Structure 1
Amino acid sequence: MAVLSPLSRRPTVAAMLVLTAVTGLIDTYSYLSLGHVFVAYMTGNVVFLGVGLQPGADLAWVVPAVAVGGFALGSLTGGRLAARLSGRPRRWLVAALAAEAVLLALVAVVSAGGLMTPDGRSAQHGGAHAGGPCAYVSIALLALAAGLQNSTVRHFGVRELNTSVLTLTLTGLTADSTLGGGPGAKAHRRVGSIAAMLGGAAVAATLFRISATAVVVLAAVLVALVSGAFATGRSAASGADVVAGKGGAGEEWPGEFQSTRSG
């Protein structure tokens, strides 16, 4: 079953790229501020968890375990929302992204309030001190938000724009390129995804020198803006035309948006 976007092609692609940049923001924040852990990149956390389970390992297993658990819960929540609301894409996307924005805003509050480390020293540039109680709360909330976003985007199914995992994106860009003997299709989207993630990480690292909390605030604002765009943006065509795949941009979306609930 195709899950059609409530917006036309370009605004939808732009929204996905903004969410990709948000992934770069929050993963950079978590890695720099919360003890070298990712909240969206679960492959890295599973590796960290495996290393941390070894006797005498310097890397604690609890931190990646919290991240993986929070991400799984967020993904489960996103799946439930999709099951209930994906027949009404506008309401579904607005609800999921608004929930993500609220979670990120909560992390910003925790970060702003967690300026003191457990031993009473000020944490550099703000943010939850790695290993402190605020860090575990922040990791859980950020991973929950990332899981919710990933689950929603998975069900939305915009080709070449998954907003988080760039391994396959980079592989597709190179292996499917004309230089690699492929058709070179969708190269601009793949490049856009990589650039968005890179840009988000670079902005986060720059802001981190000033205020770690500002990184999460920016991420929350961006997600809220995307949610607002889906809530108020003009549809590409009338509902009947989009569902039937007739006319304008509506005829292009069924091939672009594929529900992955059955795959």
Structure 2
Amino acid sequence: MTVTAVSGLIDAISYLGLGHVFTANMTGNVVVIGFAVAGAPGFSVVGSLVSLAAFLTGAMVAGRLEKVMHAHTSVSFLRRVLGIEALLLAVSAAVAFTTGHAVHALIALTALAMGLRNATVRRLAVPDVTTTVLTLTLTALASDSTWAGGTNPRMGRRLASVLAMLAGALGGALLVRHTGLGWPLLLSALGTAVAALVLPRLSSSG
């Protein structure tokens, strides 16, 4: 849930502060590319392509790391990847604080971090916890609800994912509007680092 909230933060940073580009949600980013190619104002083809390329690079790196490290989709591997993500986000925060708006560098760094994480979370395959998109989670909430004749399986987890993303996006939007990009990026790095540090305790406690 912590890294899901970080995703909300990252998309608030990228969409509001980096020229209407998504760096965590690639569905939105592909749609934005379509808008930009169609000539809709306020959207950047270059920025969106940089984001998509960096995200895919991060996903490929995660897949290669898993094979090189002989990981078996373990929590310990996720902890390592989250550590790398936190480092990339910390570098992004440093870039934002020192250079102002190095837009393409910030897009590349944050999208690379999100690609690494997404590939790893996908391999772990925790039901209803994708950490970056909510479409299937919201669909499951409705289609498995008692109103639809279902039994509401994992309703708490699904609602927590939605609320975590909402909280991250809300907090990120407020920070971007009132403080710029550096502080929300630093908060994203700290949140990811905390998640990485907590994981071993959760796994050891069963």
TM above 0.5: yes
Q: Is the Cα contact below 8 Å between 1:85 and 1:92 reproduced in 2?
A: no
Task: Tell me which residue corresponds to 1:180.
Answer: 148
Q: 1:17-41 CA deviation, whole Å, 9 max, x = no partner?
A: 0010000001101111100111011
> What is the TM-score of this pair, normalised by structure 2?
0.92
Q: Is the Cα contact below 8 Å between 1:75 and 1:150 reproduced in 2?
A: yes
Q: Is the Cα contact below 8 Å between 1:176 and 1:183 reproduced in 2?
A: yes
Q: Is the Cα contact below 8 Å between 1:97 and 1:227 reproduced in 2?
A: yes
Q: Is the Cα contact below 8 Å between 1:102 and 1:220 reproduced in 2?
A: yes
Q: 1:102-154 CA deviation, whole Å, 9 max, x = no partner?
A: 10011001110123xxxxxxxxxxxx2xxxxx100000110000111111111
The answer on 1:203 being equivalent to 2:187 is no
1:92 and 1:82 map into 2 onto residues whose CA distance is 8
2:66 and 2:126 map into 1 onto residues whose CA distance is 15
Change (3 A) 1:19 1:72: same
Task: Tell me which residue corresponds to 1:223.
Answer: 192
Task: Tell me which residue corresponds to 1:191.
Answer: 159
Give matches, 1:12-51, under 5 Å. Answer: 17-51=1-35
- One-letter amino acid matched to 2:191: L
1:220 and 1:85 map into 2 onto residues whose CA distance is 26
1:53 and 1:232 map into 2 onto residues whose CA distance is 47
Aligned-residue offset at 1:231: 4.2
- One-letter amino acid matched to 2:155: A
Aligned-residue offset at 1:156: 1.1
Q: How many residues align?
A: 203
2:151 and 2:159 map into 1 onto residues whose CA distance is 15
Aligned-residue offset at 1:229: 1.7
Identical-residue share of aligned pairs (%): 40
The answer on 1:212 being equivalent to 2:196 is no
Q: 1:134-182 CA deviation, whole Å, 9 max, x = no partner?
A: 1000001100001111111111111111111100000000111011121
Q: Is the Cα contact below 8 Å between 1:85 and 1:91 reproduced in 2?
A: no
Aligned-residue offset at 1:60: 2.7
The answer on 1:157 being equivalent to 2:125 is yes
- One-letter amino acid matched to 1:74: G
**SS at the partner of 2:148?**
coil
- Looking at CA atoms only, which structure, 1 or 2, has the larger radius of gyration? 1
**The one of 114, 127, 130 aligned to 2:99:** 114
Q: Is the Cα contact below 8 Å between 1:81 and 1:92 reproduced in 2?
A: no
Aligned-residue offset at 1:78: 1.4
**The one of 57, 71, 77 aligned to 1:86:** 71
Q: Which has the higher helix share?
A: 2
1:229 and 1:88 map into 2 onto residues whose CA distance is 17
- One-letter amino acid matched to 1:179: W
Over the aligned positions, Cα root-mean-square deviation in angstroms equals 1.7
> What is the TM-score of this pair, normalised by structure 1?
0.73
2:154 and 2:203 map into 1 onto residues whose CA distance is 25
1:88 and 1:148 map into 2 onto residues whose CA distance is 13
- One-letter amino acid matched to 1:152: T
- One-letter amino acid matched to 2:126: V
- Structure 1 unaligned runs (5+)? 1-16, 116-127, 129-133, 237-248, 250-263
